[in-house]
Amino acid sequence: MTMMMTTTTMMMMIMVMMMMVMMMMVLQVTWYREGVVIEKSERFQTELRTEVGQPHNSSLTILNAQVADAGTYQVVISNEFGESIITISLAVTG
């Protein structure tokens, strides 16, 4: 039996499969300061926002940042396909 598909039908099937893959991906997000894992606390708050079909966003909020909080921060984002590492230098003055 031969199945005929229109371009629209094929595109919709691809989109559904991509969405299913995106939903199955489990993201692991870890924040570091000077190579040490940042644990959530009253001052250090992390958030991962995920919405189907949208880029995922991770943020680190430092409440009442102090000069001592300056340094090199990294976020490591990984799933079963690999990982990405972003390095940020933070300067705090005042």
Q: What is the pLDDT of residues 53-93, one digit of tens each?
A: 777 778 889 988 889 999 999 998 888 888 888 898 888 88
How many CB atoms are located within 10 Å of the residue 46 CB?
Answer: 15
Per-residue model confidence as pLDDT tens digits over 29-50: 899 999 999 999 999 988 888 7
Domains in the chain: boundaries: 33-94
CA distance 62 to 27: 22
